[in-house]
Amino acid sequence: MPSLSPSNSSRLYYSILRLGLPVIAALFVVILFLPGQRHHSVVLGKYAAVPPFSLTERSGKTITNHDLEGKIWVADFIFTTCPGPCPIISANMARLQQKLAGDNRVQLVSFTVDPQDDTPAVLAAYADHLGADPQRWWFLTGPEKPLYDLIHHGFLQTVEDNHGKQLQPGQYLVTHSTSVVLVDPQGFIRGIYNGLNDEELNSLFNGIRQLENE
């Protein structure tokens, strides 16, 4: 069998390369976008531990940090008369509750930032409107100072009571963070997400799944 000359070998090599590269690229795209094949995981940070707290749930039951030991939990900060971001955050938490249906490893916890108005009864009505599972999604209130200290120094979030102040345009009774905080079973903050952003909430869900596999 005659051997290929160097020039013929080069032409054959480049012909195969031209034919092969599109095939390889196409296979890469197919693999990348196959359902369930995309890798969403990111490195979760490990921030401060949430300090001890004792607050009142909408049911009237006292809830402490010990009730959350061993659970992954998600915290948000809202008030029931908020005309701005809170309804969106609460609706997104309700969506998260649906996505986590049947997953008892995860607890949702909403902290009011307006404890003088958001009594347990008021929070109960708000929670019922959202379809919040009383076992899986808690709504907590308590005295303002320890509650605000927890939000400021425990969750590293902003909150300011504006009751009695002359409100500026766009200002609400309470100025507060719109973040959603992911906490691991040991009580450490592992992620802080924008509660108004769908992409961030998808990252939160993926973070929950990562913690479940740690």
Q: Where are the domains of the chain?
A: 1-38, 54-212
| pLDDT class of 13 with cuts at 50, 70, 90 | very low
What is the three-state SS of the chain? CCCCCHHHHHHHHHHHHHHHHHHHHHHHHHHHHCCCCCCCCCCCCCCCECCCCEEEECCCCEEEHHHHCCCEEEEEEECCCCCCCHHHHHHHHHHHHHHCCCCCCEEEEEEECCCCCCCHHHHHHHHHHHCCCCCCEEEEECCHHHHHHHHHHHCCCCEEECCCCCCCCCCCCEEECCEEEEECCCCEEEEEEECCCHHHHHHHHHHHHHHHCC
Tens-digit pLDDT profile for residues 144-192? 999 999 999 999 999 998 787 777 776 677 889 999 999 999 999 999 9
| pLDDT class of 41 with cuts at 50, 70, 90 | low
pTM of the model: 0.79
CATH number attached to the domain at 54-212? 3.40.30.10
**So what's the pLDDT on residue 65?**
97
**So what's the pLDDT on residue 1?**
46
Tens-digit pLDDT profile for residues 23-32? 434 333 333 3
Tens-digit pLDDT profile for residues 115-135? 999 999 999 999 999 999 999
